[in-house]
A and B are shown apart, each in its own frame.
Chain A
Amino acid sequence: MARKHYLWKHWPIYSMILPGLLFFILFRYIPIAGSIIAFQDYNVFSGVLGSKFVGFKHFVNLFMYPEFYRILRNTILISLYQLVFGFPAPIVLAILLNEVRKMVFKRTIQTVIYLPHFLSWVIVGGLVINALSPNYGIVNSMLSSFGFQKIFFLQEPQFFRSIIVVSGIWKEIGWGTIIYLAALANVNPELYEAAEVDGAGKFRQVISITLPALLPTIMVLLLLRIGNFLDLGFEQIYILLNPLVKETGDIIDTYIYDVGLLGSQFSYTTAIGMFKSVVGLILIVGANQISKKLTGNSLY
């Protein structure tokens, strides 16, 4: 009763949630119903109602695909590397930036490292290809000036995943620091002062004050990231992929592109998308439970 009264009293404030709610219903929940085409032989012109139901045929197709193991392994490995190396990178950078006392310097650095985020992968991919080129590339010029052999990085399968992870970090690290810096701005400066009085060094302060203050933010972002475990960003990999590195670089998303857009197999690709979503759901629920138990932080 009391709760109802509260809602009623503040209805103008609560009504502000409506556009967001509508957005999610219209553009997130209703389209879920479209996933039904994963169980059909969908034809654009017959529509959802007119297409024939085929059960799990498309899922069976996916698991029978001879390279399925390869694309799954590549997807998981690249995602894992991104999680292990790419995820902590902005945290470290944010902590470092937080320690910078000269405001002008800090602001300049921040602006400069944000910039790559606004470039599309087509451009960054071009930069990567040029930088690693054996003829003109800066990396190989450096290698050869130190007397090493030139290496054709983009044609060597063993380098592909590292290139993906490193170029991803380069592009997104600055952008990723924003949230952490915002969280750090909220830390009470008195804590640092007290620690200093107690004789804690800089490093000790980071371990005992900064990191615990960041932990809730880190956990939320980590959980969200795990939910997208199988989404690697198609563009980046597609641009750098070539036949010689397919064995380490072909992922689920590039496969979807090949069969879906080039082969117009909407049902099949929806089935693959569903597979990815279900895996993502299991991972996020599982990780959330673990995090709840261990750190007390959780998404819901």
Chain B
Amino acid sequence: MKNIIFRRALCMVAAIGILAGCSQQTGSGTNKNGAKTAETPVVKIAIETRGLPYVEGSSNINDDKYVKKLRELSKTNVNIELIPHQEFTQKLNLMLAAGDLPDILQINGINSTEAAPAVKNGAFYELNDLLEKYAPNLLKKIPQQLWDSSMISENGKIYAIPGENYVRNNVVYVRKDWLDKLHLQVPKTIDEYVAMLKAFKEQDPNGNGKQDEIPMSGRQNFAFTDEFFGAYDVVPDGWKYENNQLVPNFIRPQMKQALGVYRKLYQDQLLDNEFLVQQGKDWDAKIKGAARVGMWAHDPSYPDKWQSEVRQADPNAQLINIPAPTGPDGKGGMGLASPVGNVWAIPKSNKHPEEALKFLEWYFTDEAQKFLDYGLEGEDYTVENGKIQYKYAKTVDDINKENMHLMFLRLIGPSYLANEEFMKGRKDSDLILNGLKVAKNEGRESDGLDMPLPPTLLSRPELGKNNLWMETAAKIVTGKEPLDSFDKFVEDWKKRGGDQVIKEATEWYNARHKK
């Protein structure tokens, strides 16, 4: 017995020793950086990792070669603090509460639950004058629509700097090799989609003689599963202004019809019966690892990456993005997110806000764009006869690494997706350009875009999409309750405080659109 306890104590001591060793190492690392370039301005930035494998896998992001190059080119001693993608909101809450803030802080918009009180209490600089004085280019180059968003400014006062969201909606992904094998046309309407899914299930497109295909898959809380909500223009987290009221889509009558479609798909096992408990990794495993899924929805900007990942399991796989199912109004598409991408606030604890602004302004120089698009000379590209020869990424690892400069380090400014010359040289560029085209031509606007959560929803979270509605929707879709129970839910929701939510949302809408 004593022996066991002794051994366990030994393990603990060893573990603590390892931890101490780690923290010491990082400590000395930052010291070194600080001392190296004392004369150039120092800008500390807190950035969300976006779940990018290259970033999250880095042992010390500040020693990364791309970050070093960024320092050299921008003539700014950038020091990055990573905020894990998963706990971004929580971590942000903690940072704001503790007041331990960097020089540039990524937030979810100045009207988000965690940042709004900080703005109200003057924790961030009001940027109008500072921008005009130190970084007029930012005002010029960033579209006015972004500055006007309630995620960025309040009553004309700018509190944050917006990055651009080039892609605002997800699109449908389909296994083109399955379509071809079964001689199917690209579906357009809901019925045609259902027919396609049925064929996927019954006609053995993967040719292994077993009915093991999953025609359509999705994720927990209907994430990446909203193509049929889009057809009826009732994307669950969107809002609609109708009859002089701003109402959440999830109580509109069309929602009942959409749920009816999902119910049917679920019953016929055309929709993955596990989607309600499915985490991202299991969803991934079915689509990529097993290559058994026929249709899903995701970001249109990297179908090439998806295709190479699915091909690891099924070398013959071919993907294509197709227009989402169209509903009774002849239109379709998934919900359109805000045009505002990253949001950067400058906390008052920063004694030199002008340095932060100048650093951000640098992103609109040609030099910056070249670095962000093409990466490092010699490593990612070579120059021949004055022309850039970019080594386009082929493996998954390469793509992950490429995203470091294409996505992660691009705090603001135009997306690489907008650089057509760059895009054309990519492997499978037609796939990506097609995906982007499909995305641009569809999508459902929300009339409550960028709206802060109405106060009643804050204090009564059960009225939000992920609570009462989700419970009802899940029960209807799985057939545990009849479709008509939706009417009871709407009535109940309104009675429990939903009417108040609608009232508050309508006030926000009116205030915003009457100025």
Q: Are B461 and A262 in contact (CB under 8 A)?
A: yes
Q: Are B221 and A265 in contact (CB under 8 A)?
A: no
Asked if A141 is an interface residue, CB under 8 A from chain B, the answer is no
The interface residues of chain A lying within 8 Å CB-to-CB of B96 are 44
Q: Are A258 and B461 in contact (CB under 8 A)?
A: yes
For window 237-251 of A, CB contacts with B under 8 Å fall at 242-244, 246-247
The interface residues of chain B lying within 8 Å CB-to-CB of A216 are none
Q: Are A265 and B458 in contact (CB under 8 A)?
A: yes
Closest 9 CB pairs of A and B: A45-B121, A243-B474, A243-B470, A243-B471, A185-B1, A44-B97, A258-B461, A242-B277, A244-B474
Q: Are A66 and B496 in contact (CB under 8 A)?
A: yes
Complex CA gap A242/B281 in Å reads 16
Q: Are B461 and A244 in contact (CB under 8 A)?
A: no
Q: Are B221 and A243 in contact (CB under 8 A)?
A: yes
Asked if A232 is an interface residue, CB under 8 A from chain B, the answer is no
With A44-B97, A263-B113, A264-B93 as known contacts, state yes or no: A243 contacts B276, CB within 8 Å. Answer: yes
For window 122-177 of A, CB contacts with B under 8 Å fall at 126, 129-130, 133-135, 152, 154-155
For window 5-35 of A, CB contacts with B under 8 Å fall at none
Q: Are B117 and A154 in contact (CB under 8 A)?
A: no
The interface residues of chain A lying within 8 Å CB-to-CB of B220 are 242
Q: Are B276 and A244 in contact (CB under 8 A)?
A: yes
The interface residues of chain A lying within 8 Å CB-to-CB of B462 are 65-67, 258
User: Which one of B114, B281, B467, B473 contacts A264 once the chains associate, using CB atoms below 8 Å?
Assistant: B114
Most chain B CB neighbours (cut-off 10 Å) among A66, A134, A264? A264
Q: Mark A23-56 against chain B: 1 for CB-CB distance below 8 A, else 0.
A: 0000000000000000000011110000000000
Most chain A CB neighbours (cut-off 10 Å) among B97, B118, B281, B462? B462
Asked if A259 is an interface residue, CB under 8 A from chain B, the answer is yes
User: Which one of A46, A135, A181, A258 contacts B467 once the chains associate, using CB atoms below 8 Å?
Assistant: A258
For window 265-279 of B, CB contacts with A under 8 Å fall at 273-274, 276-277, 279
Asked if A268 is an interface residue, CB under 8 A from chain B, the answer is yes
User: Which one of A129, A178, A244 contacts B475 once the chains associate, using CB atoms below 8 Å?
Assistant: A244
Q: Are B1 and A155 in contact (CB under 8 A)?
A: no
A134-B274, A258-B461 given; name 7 further pairs at CB < 8 Å: A45-B118, A61-B459, A242-B277, A243-B471, A263-B453, A264-B93, A264-B117
Most chain B CB neighbours (cut-off 10 Å) among A46, A129, A182, A242? A242
Asked if A261 is an interface residue, CB under 8 A from chain B, the answer is yes
Task: Show 6 residue pairs from A and B whose CB-CB distance is below 8 angstroms, ordered by the A residue.
Answer: A43-B117, A44-B96, A155-B276, A242-B276, A243-B475, A264-B458
The interface residues of chain A lying within 8 Å CB-to-CB of B475 are 243-244
With A45-B118, A261-B93, A262-B461 as known contacts, state yes or no: A135 contacts B1, CB within 8 Å. Answer: no
Q: Are B282 and A129 in contact (CB under 8 A)?
A: yes
User: Which one of A43, A44, A126, A263 contacts B458 once the chains associate, using CB atoms below 8 Å?
Assistant: A263
The interface residues of chain B lying within 8 Å CB-to-CB of A129 are 277, 279, 282
Asked if B90 is an interface residue, CB under 8 A from chain A, the answer is yes
For window 242-279 of B, CB contacts with A under 8 Å fall at 273-274, 276-277, 279
Asked if B387 is an interface residue, CB under 8 A from chain A, the answer is no
The interface residues of chain A lying within 8 Å CB-to-CB of B89 are 261-262
Complex CA gap A262/B93 in Å reads 10
Q: Mark A96-137 against chain B: 1 for CB-CB distance below 8 A, else 0.
A: 000000000000001000000000000000100110011100
Asked if B123 is an interface residue, CB under 8 A from chain A, the answer is yes
Q: Are A135 and B474 in contact (CB under 8 A)?
A: no
Complex CA gap A208/B96 in Å reads 60
The interface residues of chain A lying within 8 Å CB-to-CB of B121 are 43, 45-46
Secondary structure at the B interface, as helix, strand, loop or mixed, is helix
Nearest A-chain residue to B290, judged by Cβ: A136
Asked if B514 is an interface residue, CB under 8 A from chain A, the answer is no
Nearest B-chain residue to A241, judged by Cβ: B277
Asked if B350 is an interface residue, CB under 8 A from chain A, the answer is no
A31 vs chain B, min Cβ distance (A) = 14
B25 vs chain A, min Cβ distance (A) = 24
With A45-B118, A134-B274, A242-B277 as known contacts, state yes or no: A259 contacts B474, CB within 8 Å. Answer: no
A238 vs chain B, min Cβ distance (A) = 12
Asked if B120 is an interface residue, CB under 8 A from chain A, the answer is yes
Q: Are B276 and A182 in contact (CB under 8 A)?
A: no
The interface residues of chain B lying within 8 Å CB-to-CB of A182 are 1
Q: Are A133 and B276 in contact (CB under 8 A)?
A: no
Asked if B128 is an interface residue, CB under 8 A from chain A, the answer is no
The interface residues of chain B lying within 8 Å CB-to-CB of A261 are 89-90, 93
Nearest A-chain residue to B276, judged by Cβ: A242
The interface residues of chain A lying within 8 Å CB-to-CB of B279 are 126, 129
Q: Are B461 and A263 in contact (CB under 8 A)?
A: yes
Complex CA gap A61/B274 in Å reads 36
Q: Mark B394-436 against chain A: 1 for CB-CB distance below 8 A, else 0.
A: 0000000000000000000000000000000000000000000
Complex CA gap A262/B96 in Å reads 15
Q: Are B459 and A268 in contact (CB under 8 A)?
A: yes
Asked if B513 is an interface residue, CB under 8 A from chain A, the answer is no
The interface residues of chain A lying within 8 Å CB-to-CB of B4 are 110, 178
Complex CA gap A185/B96 in Å reads 51
Asked if B133 is an interface residue, CB under 8 A from chain A, the answer is no
A61 vs chain B, min Cβ distance (A) = 8
The interface residues of chain B lying within 8 Å CB-to-CB of A134 are 273-274
Most chain B CB neighbours (cut-off 10 Å) among A66, A185, A247? A66
User: Which one of A135, A155, A263 contacts B478 once the chains associate, using CB atoms below 8 Å?
Assistant: A155
Q: Are A44 and B277 in contact (CB under 8 A)?
A: no
Nearest A-chain residue to B113, judged by Cβ: A264
Asked if B480 is an interface residue, CB under 8 A from chain A, the answer is yes
A254 vs chain B, min Cβ distance (A) = 11
Nearest B-chain residue to A67, judged by Cβ: B462
Q: Are B473 and A243 in contact (CB under 8 A)?
A: yes
For window 201-240 of B, CB contacts with A under 8 Å fall at 220-221
For window 85-118 of B, CB contacts with A under 8 Å fall at 89-90, 93, 96-97, 113-114, 117-118
With A45-B117, A66-B496 as known contacts, state yes or no: A133 contacts B274, CB within 8 Å. Answer: yes
B46 vs chain A, min Cβ distance (A) = 17
For window 251-274 of A, CB contacts with B under 8 Å fall at 258-259, 261-265, 268
Complex CA gap A130/B281 in Å reads 12
Nearest B-chain residue to A137, judged by Cβ: B274
Complex CA gap A135/B212 in Å reads 10
Complex CA gap A6/B274 in Å reads 68
B159 vs chain A, min Cβ distance (A) = 15
Complex CA gap A102/B345 in Å reads 65
Q: Are B273 and A152 in contact (CB under 8 A)?
A: yes
Most chain A CB neighbours (cut-off 10 Å) among B89, B97, B281, B471? B471
A257 vs chain B, min Cβ distance (A) = 10
Complex CA gap A110/B459 in Å reads 48
The interface residues of chain B lying within 8 Å CB-to-CB of A154 are 277
User: Which one of B120, B274, B277 contacts A45 once the chains associate, using CB atoms below 8 Å?
Assistant: B120
